[in-house]
Chain A
Amino acid sequence: MAICKCTGEQVESPQDVQLMELLEHYREYDGALIPVLQGAQDIYGYLPGEVLETISKELKIPFSEVFGVVTFYSQFHLKPRGRNIIRVCLGTACHVRGGSKIFEGLKEILGVDNGGTTEDLRFTLESVACIGACGLAPVIMINDDTHGRLTNDGLDKILEQYE
């Protein structure tokens, strides 16, 4: 929740409303923390500190525990990320078929390192251990789309599809 700079009152953004609905849905649910964090990350794109505090308060789970869970799992993010998330597979099958060359190629095109986000917030680049499409190695995933049998020459055209 944000505090209004002029009046000092609490104002709710549409995102905050969504978060409240999410918390309401999971209030009586055993093991709610992870689904709530996943839902909150879908709403905000990442997990801002205030949101973690709200979740901790509403679910009555100590902040330290919430923070411990967030940092344990690789899919939770404490910083804003790009509009499109590129996951480059560096699993065994992709490794054997040259996945690291694709990764190097993407780093060069985007000018960011592993975990980095482009300045225009268009892309975030990450490595993953396996996407499960090993038969088409080397493979990357952009958001929920998987692209396989990649060559460095084809990368530009794939990126073009994402605004």
Chain B
Amino acid sequence: MGSLKEVRSSIEEAYKKKLDRPRIIVGLGTCGMAAGGTKVMAAIETEVEKLGLDVDLDFTSCIGMCYAEPVVEMGLPGAASVVYGGVYPEDVAQLIESHMVNKTPVTDKAEIQISAGGATYEGIPVMEKSPYYEKQVRSVTSRLGRTNPERIEDYIATGGYAGLEKALTMEPQEIINQVKISGLRGRGGGGFPTGTKWQFVADAVGDKKYIVCNADEGDPGAFMDRSVLEGDPHAIMEGMMIAGYAIGANEGVIYCRAEYPLAIKRLNMAIAVAEEMGILGDNIMGTDFNFKLRIKAGAGAFVCGEETALLNSIEGKRGMPRVRPPFPAHKGLWQKPTCLNNVETFANIPFIVRNGGDWYASMGTEKSKGSKVFCLTGKINNTGLAEVPMGITLREVVFNIAGGIADGKKFKAVQSGGPSGGCLPAEQLDLPIDYDSLISGGAMMGSGGLVVMDEGTCMVDVAKFFLNFTQLESCGKCTPCREGTKRLLEILERICDGLGVPEDIDTLERLAKTIKTSALCALGQTAPNPVLTTLRYFRNEYEAHINEKRCPAGVCPELLTYAIVEDKCVGCGVCIKACPVGAITGEKKAAHTIDASKCVKCGACVPKCKFDAIVQA
């Protein structure tokens, strides 16, 4: 292929025509499928065929509204398209009849409408004005839910590969300069300035250099990389190719975790078609730039997300971190200079090259530029993906975008930064979200997972949960991490079991600080963070567990007591049958009682009582 410009206009033309046809689009990312999207698609196919409708059926990936999955978009020529949420096979016939046949949207199932500049419908929020999207700025996520990720035409028609096309006319150093001006910091967690990293690799001496994309995304609670991999695979490839041209590499590897089969499938398709079109491979777009790309599937080890461990894993070894220096920029894959970045980092690059570094730097805060994609999960009303300008407050994200706490409960904490991060309490809700503020609050940006917890969450249990995770995932190479996290976990387990002693708090703090300063890689260096922040903000919960043998949130089984409320109990006797140890006694039609010395706190009786007479406290 010669210049992309020649084919671009015909692709754009065809794309515009497509938008002017009646169409139904189903969200089929992993989350959409998990909610039942495939069955909805099948029901739509059947219905469209039955009615003999002239409608284009298509699919997209996740638009970000996980809370509304399965999501179906319906559009008619000249009108805004409506995104329906919570669509199940049984809803399909009515939706199609009303929207596609009678041209009347079903307002109560409509989440948002996306206007194409034309008319809009009454009574349905326009995307940009809807509570979920109002505060968002969508660039990296702009194609998610809007294009078919398995069709390169959709990518090109929406500006795809224009960044690469432009980059190939620029001096490599000028590209690096633009990335520096943008202020982009690595989105994989550490926040290292991307332009500076690229400069190191460009300046490094080596006959061969590599580009590596870290798509390992191991942080529980984070799925932004999966969403981009599944929803916009070409954007990552384009970013990697631009990086390759800028630093002088002609080979790239995407290390994708094996838990993401759909992402791997779509990446493979994207690579194959880009090669076929001459966008990837030799003499890209008729220039003398060559670039080869392959995927390496992970094999299940969290520590492989750490950059040096990841390189070992690509080389076929155990994924254990290497001692640094030398840094990967100088001696990376096969000891060659290597530029390793996160998925979201690469996905930002085409936008920066197309719009200029200044455009990117105009968003965000002084030291954290641009936008960041967050995953909103936990006890909130709207779980999903949100791309927001850096510097937005936690409160805006939790209460405006995520719609506040579910089931009318009270906010307790937001966990940010995964296992390396921390839990921030209500007093910190006005903290701006940027790299430095989060660290000053005791948490971390990490990859961008925000797990919201309500009053029903025990913070000692949460700390135990994370320590259990890091303890299992420690590669075992260095002692502070291997042995230290185990000791931390043991103490936390004791506290949750009601066997804590007052000295435990001091021991936890001392041990945590030692591990932080002596572990070899960031896994061990950050593993104590969940303990330290919960101690900082929720010390009273630790004290209640240790001194009063009480779990204020009512979570730790050993510290719960079960009792029957006399006034509510009608003496039906159902609970007696449920109790495996015969702790409940009572006469028929008279209030029953639980013998605390026999009760093993299994909780089996609680759901059995139809009168809510059994309470745990």
Q: Which of A9-17, A116-124, A127-135 sits within the interface?
A: A127-135
C-alpha spacing A149/B451, complex, angstroms = 16
- Asked whether A130 and B300 contact (CB < 8 A) given A34-B313, A139-B34, A146-B34, the answer is no
Please, how many angstroms separate the alpha-carbon atoms of A62 and B220 in the complex?
A: 35
Flag A11-45 by CB within 8 Å of B: 1 or 0 each. Answer: 00000000000000000001111110110000000
Instruction: Decide: B317 and A96 in contact? CB cutoff 8 A.
Output: no
Picked from B259, B301, B314, B449, the residue with its CB within 8 Å of the CB of A134 is: B449
Q: Which of B373-381, B509-517, B580-588 contacts A (4 or more CB under 8 A)?
A: B373-381
Residue in B closest to A59 when the chains form the complex, CB atoms = B316
Is A50's CB within 8 Å of the partner chain B? no
B297 adjacent to chain A (CB < 8 Å): yes
Chain A contacts for B35, CB-based, 8 A: 136, 148-149
Q: What is the bound-complex CA distance between A61 and B315, given in angstroms? A: 13
Cβ 8 A contact of A31, one of B30, B316, B383, B472: B316
Chain A residues positioned under 8 Å from B316 (CB to CB):
30-34, 61, 69
Chain A residues whose CB sits within 8 angstroms of the CB of B451 once the complex forms: 92-93, 96, 134
Nearest CB to that of A129 among chain B residues? B220
Tell me the count of chain B residues lying within 8 A, CB to CB, of chain A. Answer: 56
Q: Do residues B383 and A136 form an inter-chain contact, with CB atoms below 8 A?
A: yes
Within 8 Å by CB of B315, from A31, A95, A130, lies: A31
Q: What DSSP secondary structure best describes chain A's contact surface?
A: mixed
Q: Tell yes or no: A88 within 8 A of B by CB.
A: no
B163 on the A face (CB < 8 A):
no
CA distance A149 to B69 in the complex (A): 10
Q: Quick check: is B31 within 8 A (CB to CB) of the other chain?
A: yes
With an 8 Å Cβ cutoff, the count of chain A residues facing the other chain is 44
| B379 cross-chain contacts in A, Cβ below 8 A | 96-97
Q: Which residues from chain A contact B220 at a C-beta distance below 8 Å?
A: 89, 91-95, 129-130, 134
> CB-nearest residue of chain B relative to A141?
B259
Distance in angstroms between the alpha carbons of A61 and B375 in the assembled complex: 42
Of the listed stretches B93-101, B128-136, B221-229, B355-363, name the one at the interface; the rest are far from the partner chain.
B221-229
28 A-B pairs within 8 Å (CB atoms) are namely A33-B316, A34-B296, A35-B297, A73-B319, A76-B300, A87-B259, A92-B465, A92-B466, A93-B221, A93-B377, A95-B465, A97-B378, A128-B259, A129-B220, A130-B221, A130-B259, A132-B217, A133-B31, A133-B66, A133-B223, A135-B69, A135-B375, A135-B377, A144-B261, A145-B33, A147-B34, A148-B35, A148-B69
Binding site for B on A (CB under 8 A): 30-35, 37-38, 61, 65, 68-69, 72-76, 87, 89, 91-97, 128-137, 139, 141, 144-149
Q: A130-B218, A132-B217, A132-B222 are in contact. List 4 more A-B contacts (CB 8 A).
A: A69-B316, A93-B221, A130-B220, A132-B30
